[in-house]
Structures are given as C-alpha cells and as structure tokens.
Structure 1
Amino acid sequence: MREEQHVISAISYHKTEKIIEFNQQKYLKIQHRLHLYKDKIQSASRQFRLEHIHDISYRPFTDAGLLYLHTNQGVFAFEVNGDPGHFIHSYKKLKSSIK
C-alpha cells in the first residue's frame, strides 16, 4: 500500500497556452498548483526531488511574478500572482532540516 503524502505548502501558478479556434489565435491561462512535500516539489507536469533543487527565488513584476526553481537540470520558471514568501520559507525550512 502506498503512503499518503502530506502537502507542506502549495502555491498557485498559471501557464499560458496558445490555441487556435476558427483560424484565430487565442491565449488561454490555465491555473495549476505547485505542491511542496517532504521530499519533492510537484507541478502539473514535473516532479523535482528536493535533493536536486539548489534554491528557489522570486522576481516580482507589475501584475505577477516569476518563481524560479534552480535545479540540477536547469532553472524552471512558474508565473505566480501572489507573494510566494510562505512557499519559499517552507522550502528553506524543510531543506535546512534535511542537511
């Protein structure tokens, strides 16, 4: 039986996808959530093990901001609307307890 994992922190992000309907190009924002677990961060399409994440940073813009996961496979950006301070703090607290 698989152990149920507890979400430590979560934050919403959105991904903009280009679609074509009736020969018109449209942009659709799809909302997803990043979930922080004790051993990984899970997005809608990827899973990042905590030991492969070097850091998390945030750059605010006028109406949104970018949350960056710095990993051993490169930097992954997630567009967020709110302040991700609680998510970053939870990650850093968890990461420091593992070391």
Structure 2
Amino acid sequence: MIASQSYIKVIRKMEWNRQLFEEVELRIELYEDKIVTGANSFRLQDVFDVSFKYSDASYGFLYLHTNQGVFPYTVKNVPHDFIFHYQETRKLWKC
C-alpha cells in the first residue's frame, strides 16, 4: 500500500420509529496498480483524476474520476498526501 485516506459513510437506521444516523469510518487505499475503497476497487489505469472540494468547516469531498463515473467520498481532513501520492503513482504509469 502506498497511501491511505479515511472517509466517512453515513448509515441511516430506523429504531423504535426514530431515524438515526451513524457515521462509519472507512479507508481508501492506493496501491501501485489500483485504488480500493470500502465498496469498490478501481484499476489505476481506470482512474483519470482525484480531486478535492471543501464543503464546510468540518467536511469536504474527495472525488475519484473514473471510467465508470465520478465517485464522491466524504472526508474530515484535507487529503493532500493521498492526492500527491496518486499523482506520483500515476506519473509512473504514463512513463
């Protein structure tokens, strides 16, 4: 594994006629040839870009731009390191 980034998935539950929200922390992991999330695995050659956009003071969105569409992930911290390592790994693929 080259780099890892935590992200938040919000799960909605119903208990005793009340709607509850639970935050689950998962990881996005960058390898030499793929990116793996809690629900998906993308070959690195199928990931065109990784970007980040601030949402508010406590959350932002990390976007994986792939040949299957754009996948957003809610993050609590700015993923500069993950994006940097993705760009460096991607450069090696283009050589």
**In structure 2, what is the equivalent of residue 53 of structure 1?**
47
TM-score normalised over the length of structure 1: 0.92
Give the fraction of aligned pairs with identical amino acids, expressed as a percent: 38
Separation in 2, partners of 1:19, 1:51? 37
Q: Quick one: which of 15, 18, 23 aligns to 1:21?
A: 15
Shift of 1:16: 0.5
Shift of 1:18: 0.6
The one-character-per-residue Cα deviations of 1:35-55 (angstroms, maximum 9, x if unpaired) are 000000100111011010000
**In structure 1, what is the equivalent of residue 58 of structure 2?**
63
CA RMSD of aligned residues (A): 0.6
Separation in 1, partners of 2:20, 2:69? 29
**Segments ≥4 residues shifted beyond 3 Å:** none
- Secondary structure of 1:94's aligned partner: helix
- Partner letter of residue 89 of structure 1? F
Separation in 1, partners of 2:4, 2:21? 25
Separation in 1, partners of 2:84, 2:14? 40
Aligned residues: 93
- Partner letter of residue 60 of structure 2? G
Separation in 2, partners of 1:60, 1:85? 12
**In structure 1, what is the equivalent of residue 69 of structure 2?**
74
Please list every run of 5 or more consecutive structure 1 residues that lacks an aligned counterpart in the other structure: 1-6
